[in-house]
Structure 1
């Protein structure tokens, strides 16, 4: 039953993606090649970037619809009223920034739902989506909080699927990459899962190598890690001497019926809009 409600909101596919950790060397090598002026990675093979097509295939999010934007209100009254409408109770917030809601509290509320009525299931799904917004799509460096500005977009359950969550996620990734490319930035936030999977799909030479596929002589030098650990220097070398780039990695893949309308518009030239992002996207 929950699965059907998630499908109705457009968040079913992204909810099945786990958190990917431990690939910071690859991230550092990619960020070095990011150009904020064009929102592209400059490689020897040419300029490439994460596209709406990638977002649709990897996250399965809607990329056609209303902008994920609106007015924001950081007052305690706003957070309280919106929290009660979405979660059924007053939310637990960050002690320093009252407009940020604790994701750990939201998860506990979600997991306590009895799922015995339509309203209970919808409350569960709203909680789950809010956690995805804070931990996967629009993350900050802590991944422990999500901004209350997204709550009004979840109030009308029937309208959740009408928002272009995918394009907003892509705008957030572009902004995160632009910040990370500055000389004084030491960390990067944003939808890193999207970036990692994009890199593996488009540049197979960067993909993790399962240890069980290695020859015994190589495997004997391993540890308990399930993949071969590479350094930033190794990733730089792999990118610089890459022989091929997968320009059409999704050809022949099965596309669920609910994604077909979005895949058909992924080649458009349109502005990418989100609360704090407004940038242009080209094919």
Structure 2
């Protein structure tokens, strides 16, 4: 079903003071934790490596589906659509002698309520049963992506509404901190179970909130691992490999998109330069008209225009001249902006190409190193 790695995770006591410090540093707009050396985010790769569950596939999105008979069977109601984790535990005990679809479905829902998607009041949203109706489809959903999205939801809510208790997969957030930040890391597990990475760490020593605040305020960049990278062994796990391939595809697509954007920007700059030349020619023509003596005007016009009409004509030409100058200034600014965007796009595309190139080079080095081992 895709949750087998969760079964080997050791019991972890939540460090409330560590979690409180992390939550305090959460930025709702940037979806990142603000640390003195910089901002750091929790990613899909973090979920895959720490929890060992799939993060790609069909999305898990709770919608206003009609209240189902299956929800009713599990004790939910159409008013609140919640199921208590305690009732799921009792249900599992009553089904302990039988391993059938009902037991499997109940066990998965229990994992959701106790670990992956818990609410702050000890309940689980009964709408998750919609994704458990057909157990054959369960492994194809992006459960890890849903866990990360649920964590973001609760972090935002805790920060904006100052709720007393918080739901979501807090054990992931705690292990994420151990993996990324060298503060209060517990003893590294010496067991052979190295995956998921939640198996690496023993329980942490308890510290006060002030201790954590001081440590985080004095945090240095060398104490941070900004991005987790899978080992060669982890890269061979199917859902980690799928994520790596998806990330590479996204980078290549972004690189292609930026090349197209750069070409469009070049075209726009050329068009603006052509427009600027045309306006410049018009200005010169207007200037020549303003400087023409009366004797050089058309004989017909000269014969019927008196001094007042010529003055009016000159005023009109001066006004047009001023408007054309404004248009030239505007076009020049647009030209400068497009040139700036073109430069930025070019730099981004070059960086992406270097990332892709470095990734391919590193991969080749790893393969060469592997093949050279006797």
Q: Rate the CA distance shift 1:100–1:183 in 2: closer, same or farther, 3 A.
A: closer
Equivalent residue, structure 2, for 1:39: 31
Q: Rate the CA distance shift 1:183–1:73 in 2: closer, same or farther, 3 A.
A: closer
CA contact 1:115–1:124 (8 Å) conserved in 2? no
- Helix, strand or coil at the partner of 1:101: strand
Superposed displacement of residue 109, structure 1: 2.4
Matched, 1:126 2:105: yes
Question: What are the equivalent positions in structure 2 for 1:1-283 lying under 5 Å apart?
Answer: 9-17=1-9, 20-73=12-65, 75=67, 78=68, 81-83=69-71, 90-93=73-76, 98-113=80-95, 120-143=99-122, 145-182=123-160, 184-208=162-186, 227-243=204-220, 244-252=223-231, 254-255=233-234, 257-265=237-245, 267=247
Superposed displacement of residue 21, structure 1: 3.5
- Helix, strand or coil at the partner of 1:42: strand
- Helix, strand or coil at the partner of 1:189: coil
CA contact 1:15–1:132 (8 Å) conserved in 2? no
Equivalent residue, structure 1, for 2:333: none
The 1-side partners of 2:79 and 2:186 are apart by 38
**What is the TM-score with the length of structure 1 in the denominator?**
0.72
Superposed displacement of residue 15, structure 1: 3.6
Structure exhibiting the larger radius of gyration computed from Cα positions: 2
Q: Rate the CA distance shift 1:19–1:182 in 2: closer, same or farther, 3 A.
A: farther
The 1-side partners of 2:50 and 2:224 are apart by 17
Greater helix percent: which structure? 2
Q: Which runs of 4+ in 1 moved over 6 A?
A: none
- Helix, strand or coil at the partner of 1:229: coil
CA RMSD between the two structures: 2.8
Q: Rate the CA distance shift 1:98–1:28 in 2: closer, same or farther, 3 A.
A: closer
- Helix, strand or coil at the partner of 2:3: coil
Q: 5+ residue gaps in structure 1?
A: 1-8, 85-89, 211-225, 271-283
Q: Rate the CA distance shift 1:181–1:19 in 2: closer, same or farther, 3 A.
A: farther
> What is the CA deviation profile of residues 242-268 of structure 1, one whole-angstrom value per residue up to 9, with x for unaligned ones?
232023445437326333334415747
Equivalent residue, structure 1, for 2:284: none
CA contact 1:111–1:124 (8 Å) conserved in 2? no
Greater strand percent: which structure? 1
Superposed displacement of residue 122, structure 1: 3.2
Q: Which moved more, 1:167-176 or 1:22-31?
A: 22-31
Aligned length: 233
The 1-side partners of 2:80 and 2:153 are apart by 24
CA contact 1:56–1:262 (8 Å) conserved in 2? no
Q: 5+ residue gaps in structure 2?
A: 189-202, 252-374
The 1-side partners of 2:208 and 2:108 are apart by 35
> What is the CA deviation profile of residues 68-92 of structure 1, one whole-angstrom value per residue up to 9, with x for unaligned ones?
02543474xx2xx1147xxxxx323
The 1-side partners of 2:166 and 2:245 are apart by 29
